[in-house]
Amino acid sequence: MKRTAILVLVAALACSCGTGKLYTVPVADPEEGDVNLGYQKVRRRDSTGSTGTLKVERASGYTDIYEYLRGRVAGVEVNGTSIRIRGERSILGNNEPLILVDGMVTDDISHISPEEVDRIDVLKDASSTAIYGSRGANGVILITTRRSAK
């Protein structure tokens, strides 16, 4: 019995030695920051909806907003200038999310440089997008530029 316990302890130590820092991934603290829901900002811990927030760095090196978005928010798929939030929802209908830049609805964000953007909030579920009605059925992307954030 003692020998088995010692072998298990030694095996656990051997497996964990030197690998603790190797595979850790920094994760944003869910208690930090706030989430823009379109009509108000709430603390992240008080938000019940599925949202994603990007704080855009000034010297990111990206010139295209679509390239900047690609792979940064879970559930958001970017193909060229097409954005899908949580996949296809309609076979024949439009699957594009509602995009708001500084509170104004727009269809094309290709003219926006990531250098101009302060933050991007992605609202992914029905409770988050409820204030936008049927227009927000495919998700909502809220883009706040640096000049409006002042």
What does pTM read for this prediction? Answer: 0.67
pLDDT value, residue 53: 75
- Greater confidence (41 vs 99) lies with 99
- The Cα-based distances of 117 to 78, 81, 137 in angstroms read 18, 17, 24
In the block, residue with structure tokens 């988050």: 128
DSSP string for 37-51: -SS-EEEGGG--S-E
Residues 9-41 pLDDT 10s: 666 555 555 444 333 333 344 445 676 666 556
Amino acid at site 50: S
What is the rounded CA–CA span in Å between residue 20 and residue 91?
Answer: 46
pLDDT value, residue 136: 85
- Domains delineated in the chain: 26-149 (2.170.130.10)
pLDDT value, residue 121: 87
